[in-house]
């Protein structure tokens, strides 16, 4: 068994905990891979350091991330491209997509015994169609078209399979996967969707329209949105809260189900609704 470990050392206690994970995985007889940028942080002889990040993912069997949801989501997209399953260890505040918590280190033994299952999560392919070129990026949580921080409200036209279906006057609109339904969309009033479902959720942000409810579309849908402003305000496309692309009024954004899927390792028997209840209770404390 070959395991690539991707830690977020900006998290509190992440370095010390990563050392524990490395030691535990080595005890299980696995090989451990780390990216070369961590060579000065981990003086462990058995660890293999890779200069080529993508080659490391190709060579491993399992990816383990140590950090919050953002760390897991970022790494899951790279793991999906390499068709490798990922286990997220939560060192963040919520950890909706994490497979285990820091105090569950012994659960790693299940990687050796095979006592785990893999959840396949739908992703979005998001294409920005400009005047001269098109660019496609991938989202595990969501794609958000919104105004700049100092901009006024924007007008948005949404199409479904090439036919315009509605217009919004709003701060923006969120297109999310079922996995992303518990992220920004939930804060904007959207519903919670079981993550193994396959659909696209559209949720307007602070809509000034009478029609301001979330809308659910089938996985075969191709959605498009074009935004317009009247005062030269800025427009942005944000992918999973980490990639930001500035848009013009002539740009059209297309959203559809991606052909690849993220594979998340689950080591425990808790179902989604148990985890959801626990995490939402933690948020209220």
Catalytic residues: 69
Continuous segment of H or E residues that includes residue 260: strand 252-266
Cα–Cα distance, 78 to 90 (Å, whole number): 18
How many CA atoms, within 13 angstroms, populate the side-chain half-sphere of residue 256? 13
A 10 A CB-CB count for 180 gives 33
Pick left, alpha or beta for residue 274 (phi over 0 → left; psi -120 to 50 → alpha; otherwise beta): alpha
**Interior angle at CA 203, CA 199 and CA 204, nearest 5:** 155
DSSP label at 61? S
63-78: string of b/e by CB count within 10 Å (b at 16+)?
bbbbbbbbbbbbbbbb
Scan for tokens 């944000």, then name that residue.
Answer: 238
Q: Which residues make Cβ contacts (< 8 Å) with residue 189, sequence separation at least 6? A: 203, 214
Name the pairing type of β-strands 86-90 and 62-67: parallel
């Amino acid at each position: 068994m070959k395991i690539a470990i991707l830690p977020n050392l900006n998290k509190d206690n992440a370095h010390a905990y990563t050392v524990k994970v490395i030691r535990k995985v080595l005890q299980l007889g696995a090989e451990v891979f780390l990216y070369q940028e961590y060579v000065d942080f981990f003086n462990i002889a058995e660890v293999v350091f890779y200069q080529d990040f993508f080659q490391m993912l190709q060579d491993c069997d399992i990816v383990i991330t140590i950090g919050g949801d953002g760390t897991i989501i970022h790494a899951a997209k790279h793991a999906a491209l390499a068709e490798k399953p990922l286990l997220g260890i939560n060192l963040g505040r919520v950890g909706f997509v994490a497979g285990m918590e820091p105090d569950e280190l012994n659960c790693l033994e299940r990687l050796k015994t095979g006592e785990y299952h893999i959840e396949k999560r739908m992703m979005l392919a998001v294409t920005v169609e400009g005047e001269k070129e098109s660019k496609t990026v991938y989202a595990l949580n969501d794609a958000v078209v919104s105004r700049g921080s100092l901009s006024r409200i924007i007008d948005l036209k949404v199409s479904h399979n090439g036919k315009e279906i509605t217009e919004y006057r709003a701060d923006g609109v969120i297109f999310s996967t079922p996995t992303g339904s518990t992220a920004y969309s939930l804060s904007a009033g959207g519903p919670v969707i079981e993550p193994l479902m396959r659909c696209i959720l559209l949720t307007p942000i602070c809509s000034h329209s009478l029609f301001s409810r979330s809308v659910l579309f089938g996985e075969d849908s191709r959605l498009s949105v074009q935004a317009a402003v009247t005062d030269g305000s800025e427009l942005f496309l944000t992918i999973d809260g980490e990639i930001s692309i500035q848009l013009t009024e002539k740009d059209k954004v297309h959203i559809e189900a991606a052909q690849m899927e993220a594979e998340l390792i689950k080591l425990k028997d808790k179902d989604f609704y148990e985890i959801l209840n626990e995490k939402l209770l933690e948020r209220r404390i």
